[in-house]
Structure 1
Amino acid sequence: MTDKHPHTPATSPVLQVAGLNVAFRRGDAWTSVVNGLDFSVSRGETLAIVGESGSGKSVSAMSVMRLLPPKASRIEGSIRLNGQDLLSLPEHDMAAIRGNQIAMIFQEPMSSLNPVMRIGDQISESLRLHRKLDHGQARAETLRLMDRVHIPASAQRFSDFPHQFSGGMRQRVMIAMALACNPSVLIADEPTTALDVTIQAQILALIKELQTQEQMAVVFITHDMGVVAEVADRTLVMYRGDMVETGSTADIFARPQAAYTKALLSAVPELGSMNAYPLPQPFPIYNVETGASDPLPTVRDSVQHDAPTLLEVTGLSARFDIRSPLLRRVTGRVHAVENVSFKLKRGETLAIVGESGCGKSTTGRLITGLLTASQGRIVLEGKDVGAIAPQERARKIQMVFQDPYSSLNPRQSVGEALSEPLLVHGLATTRDCDQMAAELLTTVGLPADAAYRLPHEFSGGQRQRICIARSLALKPGTIVADEAVSALDVSVKVQIVNLLLELQQQMGLGFVFISHDMAVVERVSHRVAVMYMGEIVEIGPRSEVFSNPRHPYTRRLLEAVPVPDPARRKQRQLSVRELKTPFKPRDYTPPVRTYHQATEGHFYMEAGAEWN
């Protein structure tokens, strides 16, 4: 297989990595995590390094930057930047290269930015350090960089702090910092994993636009094969520290050779693949050793004709007061959720989709009782939640959060975490808890002896299974899954989605599935509600909403989903439209909305002039 892409610039490589071996010290022994890795990337070229968590892709990037702790890591091989061996350089010389000739964008911008330092000063820092600009020159260049990455009103936002930016805007700040010194190589380590599809599309288009202007070499690290198909000239596949396949992106997708590559591609949910299926369908599971798929289970309709209504939400709104710092007077309100209404039947999955800040997670917290609604009515299994005790509410509805590690007590064993709700609600004695915890673990596909281990001893996917097991402990009828698979690798995501579908078939669970991954939503949902600025702008059967979207925002969401096929790679029009602010004056009165019916059960909000 050739690894020469027809569009690859015919220039000598800017970055060359040969025979890279990386090991970490564990006690007195060394554990190898990268084995004999070879790759190169030229000016104007994008190389994607793909694989699951633990495959060694991020460690390889950190090795190139020499950011691994020297006492706990060992790097062997050759890393050359423009012919210069980086591994032989003293740390002082390497510090002059880092952020100057080679730059890196990290996955989580909030943890990479200084929370108490103004955005403009953080971008200016490298300009003063590497380019020796004075204060005035650095400010002017920073404003130019902020404009270049399409941050609106850069002069006004120069003095803002990171928490005042949205996730997409913070990632643009990271890109501006990385490009400040015109690097020869840009390493982007999972820069869009936690972003909504529309913001992801903007960031990918922005990186591509800036790469074209500067002819940078880009190393793009990801586990999202849809993103790879969108941006990469060549692709390198890693598995457990080894390079299993490399070649042009078109060849990798059209003619994968390694079984693991085939399994990775097969696990990519593709928008439109559910057109022929009226019911949710599990993903096929491919064996990474053989590339063969396991047979899919038979799917029956989990929503019976006379299925009872588990959850009914009417006119739900949540507004949070903004007070003046001195007299604590209410000066305005955040209209997080506005007049939301929907129903959920037993065995049904209602997906709530939209960009960050649209109110979908707040809606989930309102119906589970983690937040208090400003107005509206929530009826849970026929009872108004205002008339039932919090403990009874918890036994009827539970929540699974996005980050399983922060959802579990790191000092509490898994068995203790599963037993705690049973003991608090008086549903089991201490003597019975071990057996019940073992049954819960078995239900989610984990061994019973996992109860004696701590959360850090599990992978991300296993921790999410533990959180699902805990949510099942009180035998609720409804589960709110808030971005429960968003941070997982594609193959692990498939396993968790299949688990949820299997549990729904067995127990008749109702799911409120909150997500920004439209391809996964299409796979799991019966109905879909699209939220924008706290309001549902479109709701209806999944097949109708996806095949016949009626609101402009729904169409925008669907158009932003990456297509996992390099042959269908499309040029995206970069849109800088961000969510409007939910901050409203104290006396603001929401407008009365008009909804139209497209088909049976399919309703959409009349689009105003802002969508023209």
Structure 2
Amino acid sequence: MSPHKTKPTSEHTSPVLQVEQLDIAFRRGASWTPVVNGLSFEVSRGETLAIVGESGSGKSVSAMSIMGLLPERSSRVGGSIRLRGRELLGLPDADLSAIRGNEIAMIFQEPMTSLNPVMRIGEQIAEPLYQHRGLSAAAAKAEALRLMERVRIPAAAQRYADYPHQFSGGMRQRVMIAMALACNPSVLIADEPTTALDVTIQAQILALIKELQKEEQMAVVFITHDMGVVAEVADRTLVMYRGDRVEAGATADIFAQPQQPYTRALLSAVPELGSMAGFAQPHPFPIYDMARGLSDTSSPLKDSVQSGPPWLLEVEGLSARFDVRSPLLRRVTGRVHAVENVSFQLQRGETLGIVGESGCGKSTTGRLVTGLLSATAGQIRIEGREVSQLSGLERARKIQMIFQDPYSSLDPRQSVGDALTEPLRVHGMAKKADCADIAARLLAKVGLPADAATRMPHEFSGGQRQRVCIARALAMQPGTIVADEAVSALDVSVKVQIVNLLLELQQEMGLGFLFISHDMAVVERISHRVAVMYMGEIVEIGSRADVFANPRHPYTRRLLEAVPIPDPRRRRERHMAPRELKTPYKPRDFVSPRRSYHQAGPGHLYMEADDDWS
């Protein structure tokens, strides 16, 4: 790190950031709607304060007010925000601009909306170095490259000139972290910085932030709804609910003896790896009712018995390669080997979890089997029939998909009722006069009232919108549903409800789920079998119990070791050694090597590890 900004190590004594009686309101027409009420907290050098709560609790809005990023005309901020004793509220824009990105920095939740889409990645990282540290172009580029390597962006020199759309979601978040750390700020506000990241990358980023915090004695405000992350990183925790501070204290005390029902509800909804030990079948999450406490009256799910072909989905030797062309003559210069020789089967009433890091090919696999992408090689059979033999209608009636972001997958100009029945109307499977009754039945199936059919997507919460997407997937009465990160963006309590809903629907209808996720604890809860993907290949596949209790491939073990433990008493010192990230980009004439598998037990297969894993 740069020596001119290095601070001496000290105990947590003097607060760097002090927030007192913060009130925030937004203009709604002629009136003002309060969203944060009298919030107070402080954070000292070298200390991490976690602010937790579900969507709409006011935690991100509070962070935006600290940065001075709320719109002046439609927001009203009262109280006091002091950085090293200097009042920030009311400062001129020029003074705030000199502070933002230099003394106080922020990592935002959604990197794609925070990065300039027409500006190269390297230039965006270098920009604060020009602005705040006055580095020359050459020095700023060298420092930007060092930061890119520090946050584990592979082939940094080659990717310096790339644009944001050429990066995966996890890679874009690493860019945001590099930008925030460029000037070694005194205060770092991290707003859900690891929500979209895989567990191994999350562990590395958390370790990186802690390492930099220790070196620089940064004060960190960590905003999240992931209580496992809170347990790993936070010295103190503040819980928010609907704009109010509900509870605050030492993290260990909050986890051991939560005083408020809402805090207890948050903690009860945390999926914990290993909680399925002893269960042969998936098991619904217990639900915490703030009036009655924890309720776990559900019993383990039994196998669904359904008529019809036993295999809903059979995939054999599936591969997908995407051409990379030169910018001038558009010649094929190489190929991205996104999926490589993948084989698996899915039977009725079964959930196959597919896990792995961003870019491993799990989402591409889901899109291949649903027909959203075309395979380069391999066979896909749905209910015993080759995909090539199925019409579009037949395929739609046999397999459907639930996407990660329920808002972007719903037409904002279309009512929920129309969204649910449109596939039926397009394929001539329902008359317009019957659509209202059909929509009401589908909504009831996912626990929503019939009058929800007349409302628009923006009128629903994130969890409700995901229920609508599940109902839409059920409209064609498919046997198989591909759930691609379907609960990753949801709050913990909503995630629990959606997982329980999927399990209930599976039990009732004999559905087969291809559950794609990077949340290992949720995968353990919902899956019968698990496939682990790395660089487009399945490196291990077997029953959930075998894969989680007896992982045989080094990558599977690495994934499991990276999962945060939601217990501050078991906090581990992270030593996630950075590994050189391989790239799926290969030369045009590259021939993939033939892999061999070993059998660890009945149905439990794992790939022979490469030398670099030993």
TM norm structure 2 = 0.95
> What's the Cα RMSD here?
1.7
Cα distance between partner residues in 2 of 1:177 and 1:206: 14
Tell me, in whole angstroms, the C-alpha distance in 2 between the residues paired with 1:231 and 1:565. 11
Whole-Å Cα distance in 1 between the matches of residues 69 and 361 of structure 2? 38
Given candidates 217, 220, 226, the residue that maps to 1:218 is 220
Q: Contact conserved, 1:263 with 1:291, CA < 8 A, in 2?
A: no
Shift of 1:144: 4.2
Unmatched segments (≥5 aa) in structure 2: 1-8
| Cα offset, 1:310, TM superposition | 1.0
Aligned to 1:560: 562
How many Å apart are 1:303 and its aligned residue? 4.1
Q: 1:151 to 1:580 in 2, by over 3 A?
A: closer
1:544-559 equivalences in 2 (<5 Å): 544-559=546-561
Aligned equivalents of 2:189 and 2:573: distance in 1? 22
Counterparts in 2 of 1:560 and 1:429: CA distance versus 1, 3 Å: same
Q: Which residue of 1 aligns with 2:184?
A: 182
Q: Is the deviation greater in 243-252 or in 589-598?
A: 589-598
- Kept after mapping to 1: 8 A contact 2:16/2:219: yes
Partner Cα distance (1:363, 1:579) in 2: 21
Amino acid across the alignment from 2:19 = V
Conserved? CA contact 1:206–1:574, under 8 Å: no
Task: Find out whether 1:292 has 2:300 as its counterpart.
Answer: no
Q: What is the aligned partner in structure 2 of residue 10 from structure 1?
A: 12
Match of 1:321 among 299, 323, 330: 323
Structure 1 SS opposite 2:20: strand
2:414 paired residue number: 412
Residue 271, structure 1, aligned to residue 273, structure 2? yes
Give the SS at the match of 2:209.
Answer: helix
Match of 2:129 in 1: 127
Q: Distance in 2 between matches of 1:606 and 1:538?
A: 9
In structure 2, do the counterparts of structure 1 residues 212 and 418 end up closer, same or farther at CA, with 3 Å as the change threshold? Answer: same
Cα deviation, 1:45-67, whole Å, max 9, x if unaligned, reads: 00000000000000000011110
Q: Distance in 1 between matches of 2:324 and 2:155?
A: 23
Query: Match for residue 118 of structure 2?
Result: 116
Counterpart of 1:491 in structure 2 is 493
Q: Check 1:502–1:210 CA distance in 2 against 1; reply closer, same or farther (3 A cut).
A: same
Partners of 1:418 and 1:469 within 8 A in 2:
yes
Aligned twin of 1:524: 526
Q: Which residue of 2 aligns with 1:3?
A: none
**Who is 1:196 aligned against?**
198
Residue type matched to 2:559 in 1?
A: L
Q: Percentage identity across aligned positions?
A: 75
Q: What's the counterpart of residue 301 of structure 1?
A: 302
Deviation at 1:189, TM superposition (A): 0.3
- Equivalent position amino acid for 1:119 in 2: I
CA distance in 2, matches of 1:19, 1:536: 53
Q: Counterpart of 1:207?
A: 209
Change (3 A) 1:8 1:483: farther
Match in the other structure for 2:32:
30
Change (3 A) 1:522 1:116: same
CA offset at residue 166 of structure 1?
Answer: 4.2
- Work out the CA distance in 2 between the residues paired with 1:409 and 1:522: 33
- Aligned match of 2:50: 48
Alignment match, 2:517: 515
State the distance in 1 between where 2:260 and 2:439 align. 39
Q: Which moved more, 1:88-97 or 1:507-516?
A: 88-97
From 446, 469, 472, the equivalent of 1:470 is 472
CA–CA distance in structure 2, aligned partners of residues 421 and 563 of structure 1: 42
Distance 1:154 1:332 in 2: 19
CA distance in 2, matches of 1:154, 1:28: 50
The whole-number CA distance in structure 2 between the counterparts of 1:147 and 1:467 is 39
Deviation by residue 1:346-403 (Cα, 9 ceiling, x = unmatched): 1000111111111111111111111111111111112111111111010011000000
Classify the secondary structure of the residue corresponding to 2:293. coil
* Distance change (3 Å), C-alpha of 1:490 and 1:131: same
> Superposed, which structure 2 residues align to 1:81-160 within 5 Å?
81-151=83-153, 154-160=156-162
Amino acid at match of 2:293: A
Whole-angstrom CA distance in 2 between matches of 1:262 and 1:345:
38
In structure 1, stretches of 5+ residues that fail to align are 1-6
Q: Secondary structure at the match of 1:408?
A: coil
**Cα distance in 1 between the residues matched to 2:609 and 2:166:** 29
- Larger mean CA deviation between 323-332 and 79-88 belongs to 323-332
Alpha-carbon distance between aligned partners in 2 of 1:318 and 1:252, rounded to the nearest angstrom: 48
1:138 partner letter: A
Supply the AA of the counterpart residue of 2:560. Answer: L
Q: 1:291 to 1:173 in 2, by over 3 A?
A: farther
Separation (CA, whole Å) in 2 of partners of 1:530 and 1:303: 25
Distance 1:594 1:581, change over 3 A: same
Contact 1:23–1:33 (8 Å) recurs in 2: yes
Q: Which segment drifts farther, 388-397 or 570-579? A: 570-579
Q: In the alignment, residue 432 of structure 2 is paired with which amino acid?
A: T
Do 1:8 and 1:45's aligned partners in 2 also have CA atoms closer than 8 Å?
no
Could you tell me how far apart the structure 2 residues matched to 1:8 and 1:304 are? 63
Q: Give yes or no for contact 2:170–2:358 (8 Å, CA) kept in 1.
A: no
Q: Distance in 2 between matches of 1:94 and 1:11?
A: 25
Q: CA separation in 2, counterparts of 1:341 and 1:141?
A: 44
Alignment partner of 2:18: what SS? strand
Look up the SS of the partner of 2:465 in the other structure: helix
Contact 2:311 2:346 in 1 (8 A): yes
Task: Give how far 1:229 is off.
Answer: 0.6
Question: By how many angstroms is 1:151 displaced?
Answer: 4.3
Aligned length: 605
Deviation of 1:562 after TM superposition, in Å, equals 0.5
State whether residues 12 and 46 of structure 2, in contact with CA within 8 Å, keep that contact through their aligned partners in structure 1.
no
Q: What do the CA deviations read for 1:478-506 (whole angstroms, capped 9, x no partner)? A: 10000000011111100100000000011
Q: Normalised by the size of structure 1, how large is the TM-score?
A: 0.96
CA contact (8 A) 2:304 2:507 kept: no
- What CA deviation, in whole Å up to 9, does each residue of 1:534-581 have, x standing for no partner? 111111100000000011111111011011011111111133225411
Q: CA deviation at 1:531?
A: 0.7
Task: Tell me, in whole angstroms, the C-alpha distance in 2 between the residues paired with 1:22 and 1:344.
Answer: 51
Letter in 1 for 2:162: D
Q: Conserved in 2, the CA contact under 8 Å of 1:302 and 1:504? A: no
Matches within 5 A, 1:207-606: 207-287=209-289, 289-290=290-291, 292-304=293-305, 308-577=310-579, 579-606=581-608
